[in-house]
A and B are shown apart, each in its own frame.
Chain A
Amino acid sequence: MAASFLSYLPASQMSHEKKSTLLTLMILTIAAILSFLIRLFSVLRFESVIHEFDPYFNYRTTRFLVDNGYYDFHNWFDDRAWYPLGRIIGGTIYPGLMITSTILYNLLHSLNITIDIRNVCVFLAPLFSSLTSIVTYHLTKELWSTGAGLVAASLIAIVPGYISRSVAGSYDNEGIAIFCMLLTYTLWIKAVKRGSVAWATACAVAYFYMVSSWGGYVFLINLIPMHVFALIVTGRFNVKVYVSYCTVYCLGTVMSMQIPFVGFQPIQSSEHMAAFGVFGLCQIVGFYQYAASKLSKEELNLLSRFVISATVVVSLVVAMALQLSGKIAPWTGRFYSLLDPSYAKNNIPIIASVSEHQPTAWSSFYFDLQLLVFMFPVGLYHCFANLTTENIFIILYGVTSIYFAGVMVRLMLVLAPVMCILASIGLNKTMTSFMKNLESTNKETPQPKKRADNSYSVKNEVAMAVVAMITLFLTTYVFHCTWVTSEAYSSPSIVLAARGGSDGSRMIFDDFREAYYWMRQNTEEDAKIMSWWDYGYQITAMANRTILVDNNTWNNTHISRVGQAMSSTEDKAYEIMQELDVDYVLVIFGGMVGYSSDDINKFLWMVRIGGSTDRGTHIHEKDYYTPSGEFRVDREGSPTLLNCLMYKLCYYKFGNVYTDANKPMGYDRVRNVEIGNKDFELDVLEEAYTTQHWLVRIYKVKPMSNRGI
């Protein structure tokens, strides 16, 4: 089709090479544009604002960076978050995202394109996905062929697993990190293939960019050494690999240490030790290879025995000493939960409480990748069948990331690109082998080939069937991706849309913004808001008020204190709120409209996290269950639950409203029960504001009683 289209062009007399270049360029351009456009659903349907909750923090910091310049940003101490501890923002974030947007913003402004910083932020992720599809083309081209590269670029442009994190309005680190990651891989492959210091340096710079933008760089700094190690084991280690790895590791480590948040981790933490170990191994293997070329066999054996035993002993002793003296930081919880999926559940409630850190369901693999799930093994097979230095890399990348994606939902993002690459290799290989068998009407087809494949009689028909089938699959892939993007990944979280009402029309719940706007307008400038940490970033960014805990869950004790307040009785909670100078308490309540991710459903995590520190030893999770071990808010529910602060704040006056026809008053539409404790008054708090659909409820903490009683 593309060929027939080309023939209409005036340049139809171009040489084959020029034609293919033009075709490549066109396909790439279309893929890049497509990947940008498919991410615009949410902006077109709603408005050009940041749509998710967490990115509001990134947006706020970006604005700060644009307004105050880099040095103020670097030294920014935020006294609006984590009251009264404060947070050193400059030293606790990956600044890559903000710096990228600021550079884009300043660049556009220097060209007199006066775009708002908000729009830069909103459209940054789609822009980087376009770049990703181009980088994917280059990576696949290095690994396999131009054709596979083009397929990969097209696949990644619309793969839902990646779109889920990069739609317009989701301004998160991952949006640019995937681009950085693939860029680093591309440059790494180029460096290894050529043994060039220049490419390796470029790779180190790309790695630096990756480190500056996402904590997931740890995956990268383990994957590349793993690749080198695999090359050593398979006997493919050579000077090219040595030059590339030494350059990348040294430069990359030094540069990554320039990010304040990373600091000395690359030489101290266990996650980075594999890279260091492989670096050492490279030296030994390099030396061994050099010695082998100079020495006789006996000498070499003696030398190698000595060197190996000495290295093992020394490195073991040193590692033990460092580990014992605490110089090498133990692995962080997130990393443990990667290796052992049940680790977090048993040990660190705060990690387990995040839904993104839950293991992936099988269905979501199909949902996010569709066709790729089936073509991935095909690509993997072809890579094994045709093992090269660079193919080993993509095999390792594919295998490790499919494991990680199985452990944590959010790592689906890392898996999606390699799925595209391997699937494109599979598709490319299948198509090229069957396309040859098609009886060509094209006169240019060389004669000898036809003769060679004369093995079976219906090859033309089989080839036709296969090609048609794959075309059909690819078509359904496009439809699936578009549908998933439109239905699942383009609905913003700050505005909820639901089909409902008597006529089934679209209903919009804009309660979050309503509440935050109310707060911005009606509370004192330095009011302190207590809420569960999920809402911290939004409150600081949208309501511009001080909050106690936020999504940067760096201080478990402080979050635990808030959890304790929420799960205690009013009196106990009042003491905690006095201690922390709380002025307002905010809860998210979905029982009125049936919004299921509300605070009551998160409540058990508050109990667990609240009870996980010293001061919360009086909080026991089992007190919040019925004797039969259920979590219920109806009449059967445990009295501790029915009298704790969170229950009271969510259900205050809820017992007097009808939510559903044919149901009693106080019928919770999320839990589908009639609540157990309806008639109660609040002693130490008073209702300050409840939004239209009761999604957000804000309470004011009363001052201490004036007359002492």
Chain B
Amino acid sequence: MARLFILLVISLVLTCISTSWTLSQTKPTLILLETLAQKESHSQFFKILVDEGFQLVYKVADDSTLTLVKYGEFLYDNVVLFAPNVEEFGGNVSPVGIVEFIDAGGNLIVAASSSITDAIRELGSDCGVEFDEDGTSVIDHLHYDASDSGKHTTIVVEPEQLIAAPLIVATRSPILYNGVAMTADSSNSLLLPVVKGSPTSYSYNPTSKIEEYPMALGTETLLVAALQARNNARVTFSGSLDMFSDAFFETSVSRSGLEPVPSGNRQFSRDIARWTFKEVGLLRVSAVSHNRIGETSPPTAYTIGEEVRFSITIEEFISGSWTPFLASDVQMEFVRIDPFVRAFLEPTANGTLEVVFVLPDVYGVFQFRVDYNRLGYTRLQSRTQVSVRPLQHTQYERFIPSAFPYYASAASMMLGLFLFALVFLSHQDSAKSKKD
């Protein structure tokens, strides 16, 4: 009876663990808004998220009960921050807290606008993105939409301004944009310019006279920037909140001298949301194995000159399941400070990538390294440390052909000494007997 009870307890605990685990797999997405009215004005974007299977939680950004963490765990996987005018976040949320959320692996979409507060600017600069000042807009006197009020701030983004990464942005239709400019910290190699300004764009306050050099000018102006952090958390900054709005989704783009076409904002927002919230471009290493040819398990240490098979299973997350990723451009490096071997991995029938190579004639502690960095994909790094030892004393050649003269000389020497000893001893004997 007692045993049954224990079993029951164990199974209960296990169920709890497994349910909590599955729950942790599908944490909700937090939508932070300035006013709940935005829920309506951007309803189509939120509908896209719901259609993609995200569970949305709407909160006002200065809600006093707002919190991202509970019991040391983050409550959300993804955050959408549509509150460019928030002076101070409510509850215990702060830009620092959001940065911690990113460092813990959380994904984030931030949309700003021409009126922007220091809280958002601080968040941006923590990720290497610099927003222009409050009140400024991206202005383009050549590429503006017909619906523009005359300030030339509702601008049209041509497809060639988009990053050439189908995983992040697949759409190739013109996009409407109305908002603040950004620049990238040039030392930050992790930032991706998703949408760049056209060569004729610049950033300034549209109502005032231009007296200073604009902060952003031409193609260095960033309209949308993305950051894939080293822990693969994805953060997207957009200077325009309007580009996600229902109004921009539904309107058509009419440039001067061209036929009006439907705006690509809906498609663009969907692409960005899917990428940022890790629906696409997600890779993982599920298994790494290495062994000598003809064996199945790895040895404690390899010996120089051995033939080694290295295989790695990389999987991609495609529509809800992990499927083998069989690219032909994945490389393996065999590194001891410097790479000694660098080879392409070949896809095999059973879904792994594999290479067979001969270990270099150098001993030491090596690493099998697979570093796969492709635009839009997760940053993939695999390190497997192995020792490569020199030959054991039994593994050297016993007899070397080129040394045969020496063997002969040693043998003849021994023979000669033996014969000499015989002769010498017998000779002495005879001499003695002669003397006698």
Residues of A near any B CB (own CB < 8 A): 71, 74-75, 77, 79, 83-86, 88, 526, 546, 579-580, 703-709
Closest to A528 in B: B365
CB of A707 within 8 A of CB of B128, answer yes
How far apart are the CA atoms of A709 and B122 in the complex, in Å?
13
Closest to A526 in B: B385
Residue among A77, A88, A704, A707 having the largest count of chain B Cβ atoms under 10 Å: A707
Closest to A581 in B: B367
CB of A707 within 8 A of CB of B387, answer no
Q: Which residues of B contact A706 (CB under 8 A)?
A: 102-103, 229-231, 233
Decide yes or no whether B59 CB sits under 8 A from chain A: no
How far apart are the CA atoms of A705 and B102 in the complex, in Å?
12
Task: Pick the interface stretch among B153-161, B309-317, B341-349, B388-396.
Answer: B388-396
CB of B337 within 8 A of CB of A77, answer no
- Evaluate whether A708 and B393 lie within 8 angstroms (CB atoms) in the complex, with A77-B363, A703-B230 already known: no
CB of B188 within 8 A of CB of A84, answer no
Q: Which residues of A contact B336 (CB under 8 A)?
A: 84-85
CB of B364 within 8 A of CB of A86, answer yes
Q: What is the minimal beta-carbon distance from B224 to any residue of chain A, in angstroms?
A: 17
Q: What is the minimal beta-carbon distance from B370 to any residue of chain A, in angstroms?
A: 16
How far apart are the CA atoms of A77 and B366 in the complex, in Å?
14
Known: A708-B227, A709-B185. 12 other contacts (CB 8 A): A75-B393, A88-B390, A704-B230, A705-B230, A706-B103, A706-B229, A706-B231, A707-B128, A708-B187, A708-B188, A708-B189, A709-B188
Q: Which residues of B contact A83 (CB under 8 A)?
A: 365
Q: What is the minimal beta-carbon distance from A544 to any residue of chain B, in angstroms?
A: 16
How far apart are the CA atoms of A74 and B363 in the complex, in Å?
16
Decide yes or no whether B127 CB sits under 8 A from chain A: yes
CB of B189 within 8 A of CB of A707, answer no
How far apart are the CA atoms of A164 and B264 in the complex, in Å?
85
Decide yes or no whether B301 CB sits under 8 A from chain A: yes
Contact bitstring B329-368, A, C-beta under 8 A = 1, else 0: 0000000110000000000000000000000000111100
CB of B389 within 8 A of CB of A708, answer no
Decide yes or no whether B250 CB sits under 8 A from chain A: no
Q: Interface residues of A: mostly helix, strand, loop or mixed?
A: loop
Q: Which residues of B contact A79 (CB under 8 A)?
A: 301, 364-365, 387, 389
- Evaluate whether A580 and B337 lie within 8 angstroms (CB atoms) in the complex, with A77-B387, A706-B231 already known: yes
Decide yes or no whether B241 CB sits under 8 A from chain A: no
How far apart are the CA atoms of A635 and B396 in the complex, in Å?
61
Q: Interface residues of B: mostly helix, strand, loop or mixed?
A: loop
How far apart are the CA atoms of A579 and B231 in the complex, in Å?
20
Could you pull out 18 A-B pairs where Cβ atoms are within 8 angstroms? A74-B393, A75-B389, A77-B301, A77-B363, A79-B364, A79-B365, A79-B387, A79-B389, A86-B364, A88-B389, A526-B385, A706-B102, A706-B103, A706-B233, A707-B102, A707-B103, A707-B227, A708-B190
CB of A708 within 8 A of CB of B128, answer yes
Decide yes or no whether B375 CB sits under 8 A from chain A: no
Decide yes or no whether B225 CB sits under 8 A from chain A: no
Decide yes or no whether B40 CB sits under 8 A from chain A: no
Q: What is the minimal beta-carbon distance from A577 to any residue of chain B, in angstroms?
A: 12
Q: Which residues of B contact A708 (CB under 8 A)?
A: 128, 187-191, 227, 229-230
Decide yes or no whether B52 CB sits under 8 A from chain A: no
CB of B390 within 8 A of CB of A77, answer yes
Q: What is the minimal beta-carbon distance from A16 to any residue of chain B, in angstroms?
A: 45
Residue among B126, B188, B336, B365 having the largest count of chain A Cβ atoms under 10 Å: B365
Q: Which residues of A contact B190 (CB under 8 A)?
A: 707-708
Q: Which residues of A contact B229 (CB under 8 A)?
A: 706-708
CB of B366 within 8 A of CB of A709, answer no
Q: What is the minimal beta-carbon distance from A679 to any residue of chain B, in angstroms?
A: 23
> Which residue from A84, A88, A705 sits with its C-beta under 8 Å from B365?
A84
Closest to A77 in B: B389
CB of B301 within 8 A of CB of A709, answer no
How far apart are the CA atoms of A706 and B100 in the complex, in Å?
10
CB of A86 within 8 A of CB of B231, answer no
Decide yes or no whether B326 CB sits under 8 A from chain A: no
How far apart are the CA atoms of A580 and B128 in the complex, in Å?
28
- Evaluate whether A75 and B337 lie within 8 angstroms (CB atoms) in the complex, with A86-B364, A709-B128, A709-B188 already known: no
Q: What is the minimal beta-carbon distance from B362 to any residue of chain A, in angstroms?
A: 9
Decide yes or no whether B75 CB sits under 8 A from chain A: no
Q: What is the minimal beta-carbon distance from B275 to any residue of chain A, in angstroms?
A: 18
Q: Which residues of A contact B102 (CB under 8 A)?
A: 706-707
Q: Which residues of B contact A709 (CB under 8 A)?
A: 126-128, 185, 187-188
Q: Which residues of B contact A707 (CB under 8 A)?
A: 99, 102-103, 126-128, 188, 190, 227, 229-230
How far apart are the CA atoms of A582 and B205 in the complex, in Å?
50
How far apart are the CA atoms of A707 and B389 in the complex, in Å?
39
Q: Which residues of A contact B366 (CB under 8 A)?
A: 84
Q: What is the minimal beta-carbon distance from B383 to any residue of chain A, in angstroms?
A: 9
Residue among A75, A703, A706 having the largest count of chain B Cβ atoms under 10 Å: A706
Closest to A74 in B: B393
CB of B363 within 8 A of CB of A88, answer yes
Q: Which residues of B contact A546 (CB under 8 A)?
A: 365
How far apart are the CA atoms of A86 and B190 in the complex, in Å?
35
Q: Which residues of A contact B185 (CB under 8 A)?
A: 709
Q: Which residues of A contact B231 (CB under 8 A)?
A: 706
How far apart are the CA atoms of A77 and B390 in the complex, in Å?
7
CB of B230 within 8 A of CB of A84, answer no
How far apart are the CA atoms of A706 and B231 in the complex, in Å?
6
- Evaluate whether A85 and B364 lie within 8 angstroms (CB atoms) in the complex, with A708-B190, A708-B191, A709-B127 already known: yes
Q: Which residues of B contact A526 (CB under 8 A)?
A: 385
How far apart are the CA atoms of A708 and B379 in the complex, in Å?
13
- Evaluate whether A84 and B128 lie within 8 angstroms (CB atoms) in the complex, with A703-B230, A706-B229, A708-B191 already known: no
- Evaluate whether A75 and B392 lie within 8 angstroms (CB atoms) in the complex, with A84-B336, A580-B337 already known: yes
Q: Which residues of A contact B187 (CB under 8 A)?
A: 708-709
How far apart are the CA atoms of A580 and B389 in the complex, in Å?
19
How far apart are the CA atoms of A546 and B387 in the complex, in Å?
13
5 pairs of A and B residues whose beta carbons are closest in the complex: A708-B190, A77-B389, A79-B387, A708-B188, A84-B365
Contact bitstring B186-202, A, C-beta under 8 A = 1, else 0: 01111100000000000
How far apart are the CA atoms of A71 and B394 in the complex, in Å?
10
Contact bitstring B72-104, A, C-beta under 8 A = 1, else 0: 000000000000000000000000000100110
Closest to A580 in B: B337
How far apart are the CA atoms of A579 and B336 in the complex, in Å?
10
How far apart are the CA atoms of A706 and B102 in the complex, in Å?
9
How far apart are the CA atoms of A35 and B301 in the complex, in Å?
45
Q: What is the minimal beta-carbon distance from A82 to any residue of chain B, in angstroms?
A: 8
Q: Which residues of A contact B385 (CB under 8 A)?
A: 526
Closest to B103 in A: A706
How far apart are the CA atoms of A580 and B336 in the complex, in Å?
9
How far apart are the CA atoms of A500 and B185 in the complex, in Å?
56
How far apart are the CA atoms of A579 and B392 in the complex, in Å?
29
Q: Which residues of A contact B127 (CB under 8 A)?
A: 707, 709
How far apart are the CA atoms of A709 and B390 in the complex, in Å?
42
CB of B387 within 8 A of CB of A86, answer yes
How far apart are the CA atoms of A705 and B366 in the complex, in Å?
25
How far apart are the CA atoms of A141 and B228 in the complex, in Å?
83
Closest to A558 in B: B337
Q: Which residues of A contact B301 (CB under 8 A)?
A: 77, 79
Q: What is the minimal beta-carbon distance from A684 to any residue of chain B, in angstroms?
A: 14
Q: Which residues of A contact B392 (CB under 8 A)?
A: 75
Q: What is the minimal beta-carbon distance from A530 to any residue of chain B, in angstroms?
A: 14
